[in-house]
Structure 1
Amino acid sequence: MPDQAAAGAIEADLAAFFGGRDAARGIFDAVRAAVEAAGPAEVRVTRSQVAFRRRRPFAWAWTPDRYLGPGHAPLVLTLSFAQRDPSPRWKQVVAPTPRRFTHHLELWSAADVDDEVRRWVRDAWTAAA
């Protein structure tokens, strides 16, 4: 768990990352709650995404409008699994290596972070230990 100063820095970085993207921030908060329900994870904010990691990274959140322009979901959640998940909810599934499948999920509202998504987050969190 980060100390108070580090937690404050993360919050400042998140505020800057999501500045002007209130819908994306609300959805991200639901994703973050799902991660926290799974267990402790480090949060890393970069220019392009917010990553969650344990021993390995397991989840990334990013805002498509930065790269693709308007008309896209406010937030995409990317999860890494050892196998392809067959759900039709995934926008895209790619295999960057033979044993890793990267799943991209468009999130249009915080309500999209439902029991199924929370289970996927928990599974990715568990596998990243």
Structure 2
Amino acid sequence: MEGGEPRTLDRFFEGSATAYGIYRAAERMASALGPMEVRVSKSQVSFRRRHGFAFLWRPGTYVKSSVPVVLSLALPYELPSPRFKQIVHPSPGIWMHHLELLESSQLDAEVEHWMREAYGAAG
């Protein structure tokens, strides 16, 4: 809750129709994989099974950036690809792969494959 009001997708993406459109496309992709939960926090929107597998956040909220949304995928291995802005290893068995998204068309078959693998690992 923020200021007594629940966190909502509308509030999270307020001021950026582009970011909200990218989110909707990512949510459709994730929902097609199977049952999942969407959680909205102050800093991100997460797609979860037992664990989170995909996270969307707005970099302009934290640093000067024109990128509307970053999609972070939690995979049990490092997946080298020039598409990722950054890959970090925050804990044993988890590599976070950060993909800057400028438009929803970037959510293509390759990203769907990565998201499917993240979904499977989030059991």
Q: Same fold (TM over 0.5)?
A: yes
- Say which is worse superposed, 83-92 or 94-103, in terms of deviation: 94-103
Q: Which residue matches 1:124?
A: 118
1:9-24 aligned within 5 A: 13-24=8-19
Structure 1 residue runs of 4 or more that deviate by more than 4 Å after TM superposition:
none
Higher helix fraction (1 or 2) = 1
Q: d(CA) in 1 for partners of 2:111 and 2:96?
A: 15
* 1:72, distance to aligned residue in structure 2 (A): 2.9
How high is the TM-score relative to the length of structure 2? 0.91
1:45-56 aligned within 5 A: 45-56=40-51
Q: 5+ residue gaps in structure 2?
A: 1-5
How high is the TM-score relative to the length of structure 1? 0.87
Q: d(CA) in 2 for partners of 1:97 and 1:44?
A: 21
**RMSD over aligned Cα atoms:** 1.4
Q: 5+ residue gaps in structure 1?
A: 1-9
Q: d(CA) in 1 for partners of 2:66 and 2:73?
A: 19
Provide the secondary structure at the position in 2 that maps to 1:40: coil
**1:103 is aligned to 2:97:** yes
Read off the aligned partner of 1:99 and give its amino acid letter. Answer: G
Q: Which residue matches 1:57?
A: 52
